[in-house]
Each structure stands twice: as structure tokens, then as C-alpha cells.
Structure 1
Amino acid sequence: MQFSANLGFLWSDLALPDAIRAAAAAGFDAVECHWPYAHAPEAVSAALAETGLAMLGLNTLRGQPGENGLSAIPGREAEARAEIDRAITYARAIGCGSVHVMAGVAEGPQAETVFLANLDHACRAAPDLTILIEPLNSYDAPGYFLSRSDQAVALIERLGHPNLKLMFDCYHLQIMEGDLTRRLTRLLPVIGHVQIAAVPDRGTPDHGEVDYRHICAVLRDLGWDRPLGAEYKPVGATGDSLGWLPELRRI
């Protein structure tokens, strides 16, 4: 199995170009990030070229302090689309394949209408990229518009864009729904990326209530051939948290 280092959590003490180099030195197959915008895309592209790693994904900005995305918030459509366009531009500049459009804290039919319109904008503006939506658990992200996989799938099916996919974060979905084996199998056609972390502490994927040896084997048997995103919170130095990597890579 291949793995992508999520540099929002791993090597977060380093500047993004140096974090890319650290991930390559540690043996990761790819990288992904949250919000790279403080770094010039030329510097990020240079680090990617130097290491031979691909940047798999990045997020739209959250908005103001305390916010968690803008794209489902009524009245914020202009801001949301500006951030979507910024993310698309940055992704193209560094050769990144996907953009996660963050919904934000909102609820109700009007929020759904706004989110659908903004996702439609994103998909039409970037047919060359994968647009991702991710359910977040309601403990870590209370009030977040998107919290369950069936809700995400309904939005994807309603819009019908081939480049709109589900970010299947095993950590969030285990907390909200469980039954990861059947859920991965059923939802595989609409999954654009898979992320892993221990449940419930979001630590290294070698402990807790999810056996990632099993999850990796399930994905292998389903024909999944893309890197899994290691989006966990290390305790201490990232380099000291990688004991799980050799075993899962062998699957």
C-alpha cells in the first residue's frame, strides 16, 4: 500500500517545501496539505520536482478565525467562490490533482442550495481537477454542514459532475457511522481520496478501534491503487511517529 503524508499535521513545524523534503526522506509516496497559500507556489513546485513527489490535494481556506469553510453559508457566495478560484489556481500552479471545498458551519435547505451552487461552480471551473467534499464528525467540527457519507453521496449524485468525489476520511466516518468495510465497498465508485488516523485520538494508525491492516487489505482487494492520506496528529516529532509505516506498506 502507498501512503501520502498530510503536511497539515505531519512536519507542521517546517515550512511546506521543507516538509515535502522530509516526507520524501521518510519514504512517503506522495504528499497533501491543508492550506499552502502562505508559500509561493514556485517554492512548493521546486520541492515537489526535487523529491519526485506529487501533491495530491489541498483545501479551500476556512474563512475568518473560528470559521470552518464558506461554501455552504448563505450570503457568503462571493467569498466562497473567490476562495474556490484561489484554490484551483494554486493547485494548477503546483500540479496538484484535487481541491477539497470546505462547507463551513451551516444547516438547512438554504445552506444545501448554496453548497450545491458553489460545488457546481468549482466543478465547472476545474474539469481538469477532482473536487472533493468531506464529511467531518460533529465532535471535532460541531455544526459543520456535511457530517455523513450518505449526505455527501446525495450531493454528488444530484450534481452529476464526474469530477466531484467523496473524501473518505476513516477517522471522521468511523466516529459518525462505523462499518468502514461495507461503506468503502459500497461507496468505492464515488471515492476520490481516503485518509486514515487512529480513532478516537486521531493519532498514529497503529492503535485504537480501527485495524488499518484490515482496512488496507480491503482497499487492496477492491483494487485501490492510490496513496492513502496519513492525516494524523503525531505526539512529539513526526519522524518518531512512523513505526506504523513499514507494516502497512507491505500490504
Structure 2
Amino acid sequence: MALLAAGITAAASVAPASAKTDIKAALRPFACNLDTWYNDVPFNERFARAAADGFINVEFWPVRREGLDARKARALLDANGLTLTQYAPTAPNFSDPGQHDALLDMIRQAISDSAIMGNKQITLVGHHIVDGMPREAMLAGYTAGLMRIAPLLEQAGLMALVEPFNTVNHLGHLLNGSRPATAMLRAVHSPMIKLQWDFYHMQLEDGDLIEKFTAGIDQVGYVQLGDVPGRHQPGTGEVNHVNLLKAIRAAGYKDPMGLEYYPLDNDHGRAVRDAVALSLAANL
């Protein structure tokens, strides 16, 4: 693992940041996650921190918390020159068909909030295991829920990103790794329901990152990064992110990638420098 981590560090050093580096341009391919970054300050203060470090794109988890709502979040985004790529409204456990009405209500609220904040995507989970329900029934329930919300999303032009987890440290969920989620979304067949391809989860659950991503690219709506082990920034673990990011672009994914990881040792300055070096080394 140490050799692999050293490998990405060496690769990143091919294109090191310098005094002439345009930090904002280097960070443009990324979206800073405001729930995993800057958590040494209150959430409302993290927008300014991200902007000061050079980010222009951000993402976060629920918007409705700590007195925050969509309008207040939009004001913070605008004040700091930030664009929201996506956020994660709290979803009911709609593997259970009895939760489908609650799911529809949540989607309607997310459509309204997204229109205010300007994001075009939301992350959708809601696939907790339902005690006493067979796996086949849960898969059918989740699929049916996606089909019920598809017309609403398509009409609004809002993409829902189904996020599979992993069975190492995210226990109790129906969808883990790239399968069966890829097959499920192909069956749903909606342009507004795609996968949140979180490489942290995919590495823990699947491995074989490049081939599986390339095979599933038709269902990828958004990408998130995080190294293994530890869920820190690329370069701190076992994944060669320079090769990975080149493969992501080669597969056709051109949108921002979410940095949903915890900066090592809470050192945000280092995490920013590492993100800039990665962007340069991968020619993003």
C-alpha cells in the first residue's frame, strides 16, 4: 500500500503547483464537499472557506438543518461565487413500498429547493434493508419507487443520483458496489435517474475500478472521490488516482467530481495542494 501511495505522489510531482498555477482553474474539475471539509467551523462558514481556498463548485448533504433552507443556502452560494453541483435530501426508506408516498413528497420538495439553489442533481439513497422483507421484494420496491419519481424528475429536469454503498463500513443497505444498481437503472431507463459513482465505496466493494466504471458509464450521472483506506484525499491510500482520473475522462465523463472525503489530519491546506497536484498530473 505504501508503494502505491508513493506511486501517485511521484506521478503528481510531474506537474507540481507553482506560484504561477491558476488554483481556481486546477480546482474547477472538482466540487468540495462541505460536510466532509472544513468541519472545524459551523456549516454556514464553510462556503467562505471553500471559496477562499479556490473552489468554485461545492456539494453537501441535506440543506434543511441548523436554521438553513434553500434560500439561505443560495444566498451563501452567491455571496461566495460558488455553484452547487448536487446535494443529498433525506430520503425515506423506499425499499418498502409503503414509503413511496413519502418519497414523492421528498422529491417534490427537492425539485422546489433545487430550483432555488440552482443545482441540477440530487443524491438519492433510501435503500436501507427492511427487516423481514426478502431481498427480491426490496429490490422490486426500490425499482418501483424510482419509476414513480421518474416522470416528476424528467419534467423538472432534475437528475436523481442513486448511490450504492459498501458492505465494509456502511452496513444494512440493499445496494452495494456497482451491481445490482447498474442493472436496476438500466431497467428503470430514465435519463434523469443515474448512478452516483463514489469510488470510495466502489473500491471497498468491487475493486477493478477502471473496467467496472467504463462498463457502467452509460448509467453514471456523477462521480465522487475518496482514497482507501481512511477516506482521505487521493494520494493517501492505495488507489492510483492519476490513472483513474485519466480513465474517467477517457470514458466520457466530463462533469465535476465530488471530493467527498475527510482531509488527512484535518489539514485543509495540504488537501487543497493535493487536489491541485492531482488535477495537473491527470491533465484535467
Alignment TM-score, normalising by the size of structure 2: 0.80
Of residues 34, 37, 40 in structure 2, which corresponds to 1:10? 37
Establish whether residue 79 from structure 1 lines up as the match of residue 109 from structure 2. no
Distance (whole Å) between structure 2 residues aligned to residue 20 and residue 134 of structure 1? 24
Runs in 1 of length 4+ with deviation above 4 angstroms?
A: none
Distance (whole Å) between structure 1 residues aligned to residue 31 and residue 240 of structure 2? 18
The aligned counterpart of 1:65 is none
What is the Cα deviation at residue 15 of structure 1? 4.2
Of residues 127, 139, 145 in structure 2, which corresponds to 1:118? 145
Distance (whole Å) between structure 2 residues aligned to residue 205 and residue 28 of structure 1? 17
Distance (whole Å) between structure 2 residues aligned to residue 15 and residue 87 of structure 1? 23
What is the Cα deviation at residue 197 of structure 1? 0.6
> 1:134 is aligned with what amino acid?
E
Distance (whole Å) between structure 2 residues aligned to residue 73 and residue 8 of structure 1? 28
The structure number with the bigger radius of gyration is 2
Aligned ranges for residues 212-231 of structure 1 at < 5 Å?
Answer: 212-231=241-260
Distance 1:23 1:150, change over 3 A: same
Alignment size in residue pairs: 245
Alignment TM-score, normalising by the size of structure 1: 0.89
State percent identity of aligned pairs: 26
Deviates more, 1:106-115 or 1:94-103: 106-115
Distance (whole Å) between structure 2 residues aligned to residue 175 and residue 14 of structure 1? 30
Of residues 172, 175, 188 in structure 2, which corresponds to 1:143? 172
> 2:196 is aligned with what amino acid?
M
What is the Cα deviation at residue 133 of structure 1? 0.5
Distance 1:186 1:176, change over 3 A: same
Deviates more, 1:128-137 or 1:222-231: 222-231
The aligned counterpart of 1:90 is 113
Establish whether residue 246 from structure 1 lines up as the match of residue 273 from structure 2. no
Distance (whole Å) between structure 1 residues aligned to residue 182 and residue 267 of structure 2? 37
> 2:162 is aligned with what amino acid?
I
Q: In proportion to residue count, which structure has more helix?
A: 2
Contact 1:71 1:81 in 2 (8 A): no
Distance 1:15 1:125, change over 3 A: farther
What are the ranges of 5 or more consecutive residues in structure 1 without an aligned counterpart? 63-68
The aligned counterpart of 2:85 is 56
The aligned counterpart of 2:56 is 29
Distance 1:19 1:94, change over 3 A: same
